[in-house]
Structure 1
Amino acid sequence: MTSTSSLLRRIRTAARRRVPAGIQTALLRGAAGSHLRKGAGLRLSSYQRIAVLARTWKGPFSVQDLADSHLERFTSLLREAGIDYFVARSGNAYHHAVGIPARQRTETVALLEEHYTDRGYYLRNRNGYVLLSRNRLRKGRDADVLRIGEYTAGAHGSVVTGPAHGLSIEFWEEGSRVLKEPDGDSRLAELRVVAPESVLRESLVAPQLNPVCEVLPAEARKPATVTVGGATHPTLEAFTWDLATDIDFPIDAVYTWVDGDDEEWAAKRNRYLGGGTELNPDSVSRARYTSRDELRYSLRSLEMFAPFIRNIYIVTDGQCPSWLRTDHPRVCVVDHKEIFDDPSVLPVFNSHAIESQLHHIPGLAEHYLYLNDDVLLGRPVTADKFFHPNGIAKLNPSTYRFGLGPPSVEDQPVDAAAKQNSLLIGERFGKVPTTKFKHTPIPQRRSVLEELEREYPQVFAATAASRFRHPGDHSIPSSLHNYHALLTGRAVMGRLRYTYLNMADAEAVRKRTRELLANRNHDSFCVNDTTTPGDDTSARLVDAFFRDFFPSPSSFEK
């Protein structure tokens, strides 16, 4: 039954997306007049090709802050109305669950009718999320769970996230009451747990599955408190437990960044060119160092969609973006001199060299994500996209191969380095890597890199001393780490929905940015510029796309 209703919902959604945007907007404007009159900060917009009402978010945006704000508003109203509640564990990412005694359903529905109907909020029913009107609330008032939220937009640009990051209002029953109800047996049969009748009598019974249990016996339902977004809320003992499936270890983010337009840096680079070593032209292409403010927008994406990140390290050659708040408590700018074991090899203009030293960053967590500044997140992601609860990393293999044969100057530098890694891994494990990895945030284990450096000190030293990309380099964090971790049981293959913008193809950039903006259905994407196009069309398209896709300045910006 559930799968059938889910299929019907997808069919209806697909049909709605085929209706021209102008017609969708006109129909919504006619149906949402009362919402627009009563709801502050609402505007007509679209999300995943469907016309919606969206509320404007002011200031830096985080999906966690959004969910927390929904919880705070609703629970404040509950407290004012004298309605008992507790914060339950939610099975959904960046989404809160509020448990309310079933005996207070009538008062709760009345509160929702007064404060939430006809104000731009959405209610989930069998057709998906629909605008919450008095009529729809009355039809759904007997539901055991009411799931509400809103579409959220920045000060300008498109909607950044939908109502899934709101809250679930759950009406919990006393087990003794469930046992007495005429349909009690069928209700208990639907639970994912079997509890003896003697336990049920003293238990609270949940209306839907949660990460802990649907039946909370006396010892698990003792009153407790939990802090969410700086506010203290009542909860139950069981919902304060650290679960075996929780990821509670710190995860940092590390960026490498260069401002290729810095004249002093460019002059320094030019002084070292032409040293007599034969290089692939891509190794010294100016496109490799072009900055289009990608770091600014990548940091926005991190704050918006990955609030689990603890600290952010930005590794540079004595440079710092003019817009960056260096006093931010979560941001640290790291100079190459601070992490290179042998600073005498500096300066280097080779990402392979810089990457080989990242695990030397003081204070860096055991688990972290490595990102180039041209890698961005496209929608909310959770830590379990990158790591398992036991710390094992989730890798994202590409469908592309780096080729066979010995590394040579004719290879693209990334392929030559991958071939070098393959030779090393083949000798060590008797297994031959052939596959590239996607250009996504790369989950890293610091201990794996430290182990590799102990085993292959000459590889790390030679790569670190390689001033420009060279066929003898190894790509250490993006490939060697991954295969070594995989073959020593510290990584497995994962799955991240990803896409790639090739700046050399302006028409493809135009099409892909439109799709990304309209659908917002990729976890990550990369804006890669390895060759310089004949005009600036791609750059203008990407600049406009960034402003629309990430409309809110982050707290990392001045």
Structure 2
Amino acid sequence: MSDSPSMSSAAHVYKRLVPQPMRSAAASTVPGSVRRKVKRRIARTLSRREARLHLRALSRVRKADFGRSERRVRTPDGRVGHVHTGLTVDLARRLDHDLVTNALDAAEIPWFAVPALDDRRVCIAVEHRDKGAVRRALRALLEEHTGYVVSVSPGNNDTAMIPGSHVRAWKNYGKATVVRITWLRTEPTENHWVGEDQGIEIEFWTVNADLPHERLIGPRPNRVQRAVPRDALGVEIGFNRLCGYSDVDASLEPSITLEGFDIPRLEEIAFPVDVVLEWQHATPWGEELLRAALRSVHQYAPWIDVVHVVAQAPVPQWLHRGEHLTVTPGLLGAEHRLHRLPDLADHFLLLRPGALLGRPVRPFDYFTPHGSTRPRRGPWTAEESFSPWAGAAYAATGCTIGHGYAPGPQPHSTAILGRLDSTDAGALSPPDGQLHSVVPGTHPVDGLAHHIGYVAGLADLSGEASAALHAAHPHIGNHLERLLARRDSQQMHFFGLGSEAALSGDGTEAVLGFLRRYFPVASPFERQAPDHMDARP
């Protein structure tokens, strides 16, 4: 049967050992049964050899004893997953990286990280000559830590449901130049699964000896270059240089790359970004909105530097102040003066009550490398065009407005807010979105600040959409189940949790139940997770 180069097929070995003229002569003189018998013996010999090598690789993995999960569970589609308390997307990515690189190190296979085009996945490069050894090391790893393997180039995912410890999971490995190793991970409540769109991709680089100095040639483009000197020095590189979704944390162990790859990325954000959270409603549902906002930042934006809570009411007792969270008293309607907050970074995300991150985000999703904001554009209606903020924006800039701005987290800069504060347009009072009977339109501060920034060349509009829902919507349950099942909204905003219709119609409770299931992992900004967060729904 056909197999990977690490095992080789009997037919392949037969072709290598017997020259073409002899094979042609044998085809006409030697009975077919004899030829088949010879090939079966070769296949059995290769299988025994591969079994011995696999046991040796498995012994090395078990001896290393790394990357154990708390327990294994079945995923909703029947595959095997791993449970980790406090799991985040960034932690899962680092666990995957450490598993693969430790297995390669145990097998003494040289490797280096590559800044791949896809920011969601970490890419590891090895030489093509080590392809057989890599297969044995990874198959042994996936037997000890159940995961899955698919071919990326050429694309073929028909083995996605077969555990990587099975031989048939590697049937496409022989022709593959890039493969992906995936582990499915979850937290104890099994509400949040990570890994399906991540994983570690292994590239097989070939040696080019046409020049005096040998080079390694990559099988596909990356952010830097496809050809590097084979004798290039290895250097350390932080995860944030390999993946824009990762945290900038010098205390964590870096990866290894070649010196030619350690250069700034085109979309790399070098300046710090903070978050400003507004705390306004001292109610049980208001606390749940604040808790969910903190958890969304912790889960999906680990690169955030400091969270500033602007408190318009006494803060909850469970809020944990520290180096990365501050609490500052604030006045209602003073958002246009947020740039005066002490120690606030020049660039920050503003999350009003109900605004949440729903998927991993990068700094580049909200800012450009040279410091401009990338505000989220929203719909433009006749009602918006006659709103007070539209008139104030035109009066402040002399330029007309052609679009609104979406609810949810919005990027701001102190430079733009300083310009807004110097005008008379920043004091517009919007309705309270959590008490309003409908989803409000563009927030005046967003509309004014982003329009002023756009006219001044300090804002570059983004088209990413936000999911906005009112808790009193008659079919709110269906929308929430869809959001929970798909988890495809990069940002969300819930309104009306304090409205009479939502409180009397169980809409508020439906949203709170959704938040507990969508964000089950506690953030470091909480002193203690509530009991209902630890219970399986």
TM-score between both structures, scaled by the size of structure 1: 0.71
Alpha carbons of 1:380 and 1:488: their partners in 2 closer, same or farther (altered >3 Å)? same
Partner of 2:307: 312
CA contact (8 A) 1:157 1:548 kept: no
Partner of 2:41: none
Partner of 1:144: 177
Partner of 2:510: 541
User: Which 5+ residue runs of structure 2 have no aligned equivalent?
Assistant: 1-67, 240-248, 434-441, 528-537
Alpha carbons of 1:423 and 1:500: their partners in 2 closer, same or farther (altered >3 Å)? closer
Q: How far apart, CA to CA, are the structure 1 residues paired with 2:363 and 2:390?
A: 29
Partner of 2:288: 293
Deviations 1:181-206 (A, max 9, x none): xxxxxxxxxxxxxxxxx48x532211
Q: How far apart, CA to CA, are the structure 2 residues paired with 1:483 and 1:322?
A: 38
Q: Answer yes or no: is 1:391 the counterpart of 2:371.
A: yes
- Cα deviation for residue 444 of structure 1 reads 0.8
CA contact (8 A) 2:405 2:443 kept: no
Q: Answer yes or no: is 1:135 the counterpart of 2:129.
A: no
- Cα deviation for residue 475 of structure 1 reads 5.3
Partner of 1:489: 457
Partner SS for 2:302: coil
Partner SS for 2:180: strand
Partner SS for 1:493: coil
Q: Answer yes or no: is 1:208 the counterpart of 2:216.
A: no
Partner SS for 1:165: coil
Q: Answer yes or no: is 1:326 the counterpart of 2:307.
A: no
CA contact (8 A) 1:148 1:163 kept: no
CA contact (8 A) 1:500 1:525 kept: yes
Q: How far apart, CA to CA, are the structure 2 residues paired with 1:213 and 1:136?
A: 34
Q: How far apart, CA to CA, are the structure 1 residues paired with 2:258 and 2:182?
A: 24
Alpha carbons of 1:116 and 1:497: their partners in 2 closer, same or farther (altered >3 Å)? farther
Q: Answer yes or no: is 1:91 the counterpart of 2:124.
A: no
CA contact (8 A) 1:152 1:162 kept: yes
Partner of 1:159: 192
CA contact (8 A) 2:279 2:353 kept: yes
Q: Which of 473, 489, 499 is the aligned partner of 1:522?
A: 489
Equivalent position amino acid for 2:81 in 1:
A
Deviations 1:357-409 (A, max 9, x none): 21111221222111113111212122222122222222222224362787xxx
Equivalent position amino acid for 2:275 in 1:
A
Alpha carbons of 1:391 and 1:405: their partners in 2 closer, same or farther (altered >3 Å)? closer
Equivalent position amino acid for 1:203 in 2:
R
Q: How far apart, CA to CA, are the structure 2 residues paired with 1:39 and 1:111?
A: 19
- Cα deviation for residue 494 of structure 1 reads 1.0
- Cα deviation for residue 95 of structure 1 reads 2.2
Partner of 1:433: 401
Alpha carbons of 1:211 and 1:69: their partners in 2 closer, same or farther (altered >3 Å)? same
CA contact (8 A) 1:86 1:234 kept: yes
Q: Answer yes or no: is 1:53 the counterpart of 2:83.
A: no
Q: How far apart, CA to CA, are the structure 1 residues paired with 2:115 and 2:453?
A: 33
Deviations 1:246-279 (A, max 9, x none): 22221111111123339xxxxxxxxxxxxxxxxx
Alpha carbons of 1:171 and 1:218: their partners in 2 closer, same or farther (altered >3 Å)? closer
Percent identical residues: 22
Q: How far apart, CA to CA, are the structure 1 residues paired with 2:286 and 2:226?
A: 52
Equivalent position amino acid for 1:447 in 2:
A
Equivalent position amino acid for 2:347 in 1:
H
Alpha carbons of 1:387 and 1:108: their partners in 2 closer, same or farther (altered >3 Å)? same
- Cα deviation for residue 477 of structure 1 reads 3.4
- Cα deviation for residue 316 of structure 1 reads 0.3
Which structure's CA Rg is the greater one?
2
Structure that is richer in helix per residue: 1
CA contact (8 A) 1:356 1:476 kept: no
Q: How far apart, CA to CA, are the structure 1 residues paired with 2:312 and 2:124?
A: 49
TM alignment of 1:85-234, pairs within 5 A:
85-117=111-143, 119-125=145-151, 126-127=156-157, 129-133=160-164, 134-142=166-174, 143-176=176-209, 198=211, 202-217=214-229, 221-228=232-239, 230-234=252-256
Q: Which has the higher contact order (CA 8 A, sep 6+)?
A: 1
Q: How far apart, CA to CA, are the structure 2 residues paired with 1:325 and 1:370?
A: 20
- Cα deviation for residue 484 of structure 1 reads 0.9
Deviations 1:448-483 (A, max 9, x none): 1112223x1x444x559x9999xxxx9553110111
CA contact (8 A) 1:314 1:333 kept: yes
- Cα deviation for residue 75 of structure 1 reads 1.4
Q: Answer yes or no: is 1:503 the counterpart of 2:503.
A: no
Partner SS for 1:141: coil
Q: How far apart, CA to CA, are the structure 2 residues paired with 1:477 and 1:450?
A: 12
User: Which 5+ residue runs of structure 1 have no aligned equivalent?
Assistant: 1-37, 180-197, 263-289, 337-347, 407-418
Partner of 1:9: none
Equivalent position amino acid for 1:420 in 2:
P
Q: How far apart, CA to CA, are the structure 2 residues paired with 1:360 and 1:261?
A: 28
